[in-house]
Structure 1
Amino acid sequence: MGIITEAYSEKLKYQFKVRWIKTFFQVMKQQDVALYVISFLLGRAVIMDELIPFSLAYFASVWVIKRERAKLVLLFSIFGVVTVGFSPLIILLISYLCFGFFISLGLFVNSNRHLPYILALSSMLGRLAFTSLSNQFSNYALIMAFTEALLAGILFLIFIQSTPLVAPKRYKPVLKNEELISCIILVASVLCGLSGMYLVGVNLEDVFSRYLILMLALIGGPTIGATVGVILGLILSLVNETTLTQLSLLAFSGLLGGLMREGGKFAISSGLIIGTFLLSIYVDGTASLFPSVVASITAILLFLLTPTSLTKRLARFIPGSNEQYEEQQQYLQKLRDATANRMEQFSDVFEALSKTFTGKLAQEIDIHQEERELDDFLSHVTEQTCQGCFKKTVCWAENFDSTYQNMAKIKQELSQNGHVSQITESKFKRQCMKANKVEAAIKDQLSYYKANQHLKKQVGESRRFVADQLLGVSEVMDNFAREIVHEREHHDLQEQQIVNALTSIGMEIEQLDIYSLRKGEIDIEMTLSVYQYHDEGNKVIAPILSDILKENVVVAEEEISPMPNGYCFLIFKSARAFQLDIGVAHAAQGGGFISGDSYSTMELAAGKYALAISDGMGNGKRAREESMQTLHLLQQILQSGIDEQVAIKSINSILSLRMTDEIFSTLDLAMVDLQSANVQFLKIGSTPSFIKRGHTILPVESSNLPIGIVKEFDVEVVDRQLEHGDILIMTSDGIFEAPKLIENQDIWLKRVIKQIETSDPQEIADLLLEEVVRLSSGKIEDDMTILVAKVQRYQSKWATVPYYKVSE
C-alpha cells in the first residue's frame, strides 16, 4: 500500500512539474519574451568599462509603449546587471529610484518630450550619488556621469522607435529608414551584452554580429550590409578596445557579401571568410586568426541553417528589397480592389437612382392619364356652373354621356382653335340652359389646365434629364472601376522579342513593363541605362516596337536623367490612326482686344479630339465670360468621360438656371474619333460648318436653339465620315453676318472656301477672315472666329526598324 501511495505521489509531482513548465512557457509567450531577453542583455552591456546607459533608456521606452510589461523588464534588467558587478548594480538601482521619483512628481503627463531630460538627470544623479558614497568623486567621474546621462537620453529616443518592432504583432508593412537604423542600434546594444560570453571557446559576440551581417547583406545588399557593419563595429568597439578590428571586418564583410548576394548564401559567406583572413592577418597577425575563423565559420553555419522563409519574412521590412517591393504591390492591389469595389457600389447606387426617375416617368405615361385629367378638369367646371343648377339631375343623371361628351368637345375645340364651332355651340345650347356660362368657365379653367400641363411636362423632362445624368455618372464610375482593377497581362513572347531586339543594338534595359498590347491601346513602360540620351526613344526604340507589334508606337512620356551615365524612363503608347492639324483666326468687334467668341481644342480619352466654338450673346467682356464659361464647363464634363449629349444638356441646364437675365451662348462642337476619322457635330444655335474634300464642299447644319434659352431640348447629332486630306471649317455667326450685301451667305461661303487653293489650316483661316473683312469694307461689326482642322493619316517621322530574330 505504501509503495502504491509513493508511486502515486511521484506521478502527481511529475504532472505538477509538467503543468508548471507548460504554464511558464505560455505566460512567457504571451508576455513578449523578446522584451525580457533584450532587457537582460542590455543590463549586461557596459561600454568604456564602466558606463551602463542602455538599461535605463530601454526600461523608459518600454514604460512608455507597453507599461504593463515594465515591471518584468525592470526585474530582468536587474538580473542582467547582477552578472556584471556590484557597482553597476548600485548605480542602476539609484537611477531607477530617481526616475521613479521624478515620474511620481507628474513631470511626465501626456507627452514624452520631457522624458529624455528626466532620464539624463536620473542617470547622472545615480552615478554621482555612488561616487560620492564611495569617496571616488573627481572631475573624471563628473565627466563620465555627464557622458552617461547624455547617452541615456539619446538612446531613449532611439529605443522608443525600435521597441514596438520587437512586438509579436507587426502593425506597419515596411520599416522607415530611421526605424531600420534605430533597430540596428538596438541589436548592436544587445550584442554588447554578449561580451565575455563564450560557448565551447567561441565568442558569442563575434558569432552573432557576423551572423547579423550575413543576413542583412543577403536581404539588403551592399548598402545595408556596409552600413550595419559600420554601426555594429563602432558600438562593439566601445565595449572592448581589442575589438576595434571588428569595425573594419564587419563593414568590409557586409559590403563584399552584399555585392556577391546574387550568388546566394555561399557567395555571401565567402565574402566573410575573405574579410576574416585578410583583416585578421593584417591587423592582429596569425595569433588571432584561429578564433576569428572559428567565429566566422560558426556564423556561416548558422546562416546556412537559417530557413529561407525566415529570411523572406525579415526582408519584407527592409526598404529596397524585392520582398518589400512585392509586399507593396500586394498592398496596392488590395487598395485598388477596395477602391474598385467602392466605385462599383457608387455606380450601382447612381444606376438605381436613374431607374427610379425613369420609373416615375414611365408611370406618368399611362393610357388612362388623359381620361383622369379630363375628369378633373370637368369636375372643376361643374363646381362653378352645374352645382347650383336645377337641371343638374337631368343633365348628369339622365343624360351623363351626352353632357360629358359635349363639354369635352368644347374643351378640345377651345384648346386647339381658341373658339367653339357653331355646330358644337348650338348643340350644347339645346341641352344646357347656361351654355354661355359653362363655356366661359371652360375658357377660364383651360388657362390653369395648360399651365398645369406645362409644369408637369417640365417636371417630366427634368426627371428624364436627371436620369440621364445619373446614368452617365454611373457609366463613368463603372468604367473607372474596371480600369482600376485592370491588372497587367502576361506577354512573355513579345517581352522576349523586345528585350532581344534592344539588347542586340546595345541598349541596356533595366526594367520593362508591358501593361497592354491590345490594338490601339498599347501601353509599355521601359527604364534604360544610357550614357547620353540622343532621343533614341523616338528614333530607334519606337520604330523597333512598331515593327514587332505591327502597329505605330510613339513615345507618350519620357523622363531623362540630367547626369551622364544615368537612367531614362519612357512610356510608349499606340499612335492614333489619324491626326489633326489645327488653324485658328479670330477678330474682336471694332478691332478690339476682347472678343465675345471663345474656342477650344482638347484631346479626350478613348482617342477622341474635340473642337468647339462658343459665341456669347452680344460683344465685349460679358459675352466673352459667357462663352468661356460654356467651354470651360464642356471641357470639364467631357474629360470626366460623360457622353457629349448628356454633357451639353447638363451645361444648358446649369446656364439656364444660374441667372435670370437673358444672356445666352451658342456652341458648335465637333468630336473627331482619331482611330476611325468619324466626326459627330453637335450644333447648338450655331452656324453651319463645312467639310472641304478636294473641290467638293459638304455643309453640316442642324437646328437647335442657343444654350440657356430653353431649359430642356433634344440635342440633334450629325454624323459624318472624314477621309485623309479632308478639311473641317467651323465659324461663328460673325463670319456669316459680315457681308451685308450678299443674300445667301451659305452659297457665298462655300464658293470662297472652294476657291482657296492652299491646304494649310492656318492659311485657310487667315485667308477666309481676310476675305470677310475685305467684303465688309474693312469694318468688323461683330466678333469673328474661324477654326480649321485638317485630317491626315498618322505618319511616323522615323521609318520602322525591322527586327530580325537571332537564331540560337
Structure 2
Amino acid sequence: MNVRSVVTLREGTGTVLLRTAAAAAAAFAFSAGYAGGSPSMLNAGLAAAFPAYTAPILAASALYYLLIGGISAGVIQLSGILITAVLSAAFFRGRSDGAPLAASAVCGGVLLLLSFTVSAVTPTDTSAAAGRMIASVMAAVFVYALRRLMHEYRLTKMLPLTGIGGLLSAAVYVSVISALSSVTAVIFDLGRLLGCAVLLCIARRWRMTGGAAVGALTALAVFIGAPKMAADTLLLASAGLICGAFAELGVLAVGVSFIAVCAVGAATVGSGAGGWSLFFDAAGGALLFAAVPSGLLGKVTSMLFGGVSAADTVGRAAASRLGFVSSSLGEIRSQLTVVTAAMDRKIKEQSLSEAVFDGLCRGCELRCVCHKDTRASAKGFEELEREAMSFEGVSADSIRRYFPACCTPDLMTDSFNYAYKTRIDSRAARLHIGELRTLVSEQLAVTEEILSDLSGRIGRIRSVDRELSERAGEYLLRLGYRNARACLYTDESGFRHAEFFITGEFVGSRMELALAVSDIADCMFGLPVITKAEDLTRIALSEQPCYELSKGIFTASSTDNGYSGDSMGTVELSSCESYAVLSDGMGTGKRARLDSMFAVSLASRLLGAGVSMRSALRLINTVLRVKGWDESFATLDIIRFDLCAGTAEILKAGAAPTYLFRDGVIKRFGGQAFPAGILDRCSPDEFSCKLFDGDLLLMVSDGVSEDTVREAFGKTGERDIDPAAFAQSLGELAMEKARAGRRDDISAAAFAVKYRGH
C-alpha cells in the first residue's frame, strides 16, 4: 500500500467518524425536541433518511431517553427506528433515486401505527394523541424532503431555491428548527439560536427578500415546536427584512441592526422575560454568524445553491422566483390568520362565579347550607360578579349580604378578587399577543408587496440582446475585469438599458464606458450609475433620456442650534429614473431631525433596491410605529422622475403640497393623508403628471406657506427659471415671513425640466 492509499484511507475513516458523530448528535438533540405538543419523532425520520447511520442514531436516542427517566418515554421513536430500518433494508436497498416517497410512506405509516397503538393501550387525552399524529406526519414530510434534496444534490451538486426545491428546503428547515426550539442550553434556545444565525447568513446573501422569508419560516417553526415562545419570535420576520437592507454595509452592520430591531421590538410589545430570551438568542445567533468566515460562508452557499449571481437573475426567471416567495409569504400570513382565529375560538373565559365556586365552595363541607336555595345562590353570585367588574373587586360586607351563612367570608372575598385579577391579566396578555400578531401580519403583507414590486420591475424587461451582451462582456474583459457579467436589454417602453456586474472597484472613466457601450449598442447611453455592495460592483446605464433635470435645494432650521427637523435625499437608479425624498419630523430640533433622517434613509435604501414608493411608505409606517419612541412619526414626500418617458409620480403622507409651475400657471398637488407612524395603515395621496420643457416642480416642508410660494413665483419670469436661485430666494422669503410669526424648519427643493429631444 503506497502513501497516497494510506492518506485516502485515513481521510475516508475520518469522514465516516465525523458523519457518525454528527448523526448521533442530531438524533440526541431531536430526541429532546417537541412538535405539536408531543415529543418529536424527527430522530426516527433521521434514521429513515440515513439508514446507513441507524445504529448511532438509535444509540443516541436511547441514551437520551435513559437520561430523562426510561426507555418508555421513547418507545414509539425507538420502535419506529428499528422497524423502519428492517423494512428499508428489505425493500429499498440499492435504489439509486433514494426512494423518497416510499421511505416517507414507510416511516410515516410505522410511526402513525405505533402512535395509534400507544394511544389506544395507555390512558391518553385527545390532545396528546393528536400531538403524536402531528409529530408522525412531520417526520414523514422531513424524510421525503430530505431524500429528495439529497438525490438532487447527487445529480447537480447544488440545491436550487426555486420551485419544488425551495418548498423542500423550507420543509426541512421548519422541521429541524421546530424540533430544536424546545431544547434549551444555558440561556439559549437552540432552535431559535440556529434560526437567527441562518437568518443573518441568508439576509447577507439575499438581502431583504431572504431575511424576511427565513424570519417568517423561523417564526412558523417555533410556533410548531414551542408555542409559548411564538409571540416573541414573530418579530424575526420584521428583523430579517430590516437587517437585509443593511447587508451592503457588511457583517457588523447586519448583526447590529438585527439585534437592535429584536431588542426594540421586544421592548415595545412588553414581552418581559420572553423578550430577554429573544434578545439572548438574537445576540447569540449574531455572534455565531459573525464567527463564520466570509470565505467559508461563500463556499458553502455556492456549493449548496449554485452561487447565482445578480446578473444571471434576469436569465433565470427571477420574476417567477420572487413571485413564488411572495405567494409563500401570503400563505404563511393566511395560516397565521387561521391559527389566530382558531385559538380565539378555543378560548372560553370562565366566569368569576364559576372560578370561585370550583376553587372554594365545591370543597366546602357547609356548601349545602349556603347553596340550599340554588336560585338565590345564583343571584348572589351574579350580583357579586357585577360588583367585582364594576368596582375592581368585592368587599367582605358584600359577601355577608348575599351569603349570610358563609363560614369563610374573608376567604371568599379573596377568591373573588383573585379571580378578577387573573381575568384582567389574561385579557391584557391576549391583547398584547393580538397586537403582535397584527404587527407581524402587516410586516408579512409589506414583504409580499416588496417582492411583488421587485418581480414587476424585472418582469418589465421585454427582451435581452444576447449578442450585444456578449460584446459588452468582451469589452469589459479587455479592460481587465475577468469575472464581469453584462446584460443589455429593452424594457416594455422600448428604451434600452445595460447592467454590468464586476468584482472589485471600477477604476475606468465613466464617460469612456458610456461611449463604448453606446458604440456597441448603436444607441446613445447616459453616464453610468455605479453602486457597490461588498466586493460586487453594479454599473447601470440607460439610453440617453429625452429630458434633463437640474435642481436647487434650500434648508434652514427654526432653532438657533442649527438642527433642522427636515431631511432630504435623492436617489438615482439610472440616467432615466431618479427619486427625491423629503421628510418632516414631529416638532423641531434633534428629535424631529432623527425621525426625518430615519424615514429618508430607509426610503432611499428601499427605493434604490427597486421597491415602489407605496411599499416603501408602508414599511416605514410600520417601523416608525414600533421604533419605541412616544408619538414617533414623520411626513413623507416622494417624487419619482422618469426622464425617458417624461413623467413624474408624486406620493404624499402628511406632507406639504407640491407645486408645478408651467407657463405662468401654478398647479397644486396636496391631500389629506396622515404622516407615517400614526395609524396601522397609512394610505397616501398619489398624483402623476406629464413633464414638458420648462416645467418646474417644487417640494417644500410646512415651513413654507402657499402664499409664500405664489409670491416667489410671481417675482420670476415664466421661462428658464434657475432652480438653485429660485430655491434660495424662496427660502429667504420664507425666513423673512417666519420672523414675524411662528418659526418652523424650512426646506425647499426645486427641479427644473428641460427637453433635449431624442
For the superposition of Structure 1 and Structure 2, which TM-score range results when normalised by the shorter chain? 0.3 to 0.5
What is the TM-score normalised by the length of structure 1? 0.38
What is the TM-score normalised by the length of structure 2? 0.40
Q: Select the structure of larger CA radius of gyration.
A: 1
